[in-house]
Amino acid sequence: MADYEPKVGECYPQPNKYKTEDWHATHRGKILLADGKTYYIDCWPEYVSKAGNQMVKIKIGKECPPDNEVARPNVNTFDDRQSTSKGFEDMKDDIPF
């Protein structure tokens, strides 16, 4: 689907080739919303409700990073931390409890 041009409000989920558990989505994809942001989407086409009704379950997930940006978890690195501790120098004893 290299020639795929996303349209607002449309999604074409593909089979989830990484599904390992029953609760994982059977199909996954991305959807472009009217605000211009793209979100991940999970889809279960053969979902059966607790009442026994067959339906399609769709879940919109987290926002996708821009194409030119690599997805990274929001984790502070050691250099980013502002530590006020001097290490073990501020401890009165060798045993901390």
Query: For residue 85, is it within any domain?
Result: no
Domain-located, residue 86: no
Q: Which residue has the higher pLDDT, 29 or 84?
A: 29
Residue 72 covered by a domain: no
* 2 within some domain: yes
More confidently predicted of 68 and 28: 28
Contacts of 41 (CB under 8 A, 6+ apart): 11, 13, 28, 29, 30, 31, 58, 59, 60, 61
Residue 7 lies in a domain: yes
Report if pTM > 0.75. no
Q: Is there a domain that residue 48 lies in?
A: yes
Is a pLDDT exceeding 50 seen at residue 1?
A: no
* Residue 36 maps to a domain: yes
Domain count, the chain: 1
- Give residue 59's pLDDT: 94
Task: Answer with the residue of higher pLDDT: 12 or 90.
Answer: 12
Backbone torsions φ then ψ of 77, nearest 5 degrees = -95, 170
Domain span including residue 35: 1-17+26-66
Task: Report how far residue 15's alpha carbon sits from residue 17's, in angstroms, rounded to the nearest whole number.
Answer: 6
Tokens 């290490």, located at residue:
87
| In-domain check, residue 81 | no
